Amino acid sequence: MTALTALTPELEPLYQAAQTAAAQAYAPYSQFPVGVAVRAISGQIYTGCNVENASYGATVCAERNAIAAGVVAGERQFDALLVYTPQSDLTPPCGMCRQVIAEFFLPDTIIYSSNHLQQLQGWQVQQLLPDAFTPLYLANSTKVPTE
C-alpha cells in the first residue's frame, strides 16, 4: 500500500472522469455510489459506475464496468485505474474486481482509491491480489491425459 497522498496533475483527468461516473451510479440498495476511470495504454480513458440489482448477485461493480467499456472498444491492456467514492473512507476494489484488474493490468501498476476530499491511496495490483490467477497459468498448463 502506498501512503495517503494528494491528487496529482497526471491523475486529475482520471479523478474528474471517475467523479462524473459516480454521479451516474445506480445504487438504490447500498446508497454507495462508485465511479471508476481506467486509462488504456493507448491513452484513452474509459469510465464505469456500479449498477445494483434487486437480485444482489446481479450487481456489477464500477471497476468491471470501466474495464469492460475499454475491452468493447478494443483495448486489452490498461496502465491506470482510479476509484472514486463520495465519502471520507478510501475504498479499495472488491475481490471479484481485483481478479479482473489482475487480468488487464501489470502486477506493479498502482490502483488508486479517491474521495471527495481529493485524497488518494494506492496499492499495486500484486498487493491487492497476491499470486493472482492470470492467463500465464493457462499458457503454462499441461493437459492431463484422459483414457
Contact 27, 61 (CB under 8 A): no
Domain count of the chain? 1
Question: Per residue in 43-84, pLDDT tens?
Answer: 999 999 999 999 999 999 999 999 999 999 999 999 999 999
Q: Give the residue numbers spanning the domain of 122.
A: 5-139
- The CATH number linked to 112 is 3.40.140.10
Please state the rounded mean pLDDT for residues 39-44.
98
Question: Per residue in 107-127, pLDDT tens?
Answer: 999 999 999 999 999 999 999
pLDDT band at 138 (very low <50, low <70, confident <90, very high): confident
pTM above 0.85, yes or no: yes
Contact 96, 58 (CB under 8 A): no
Does a structural domain hold residue 40?
Answer: yes
Q: Would you name the residues annotated as active-site residues?
A: 63
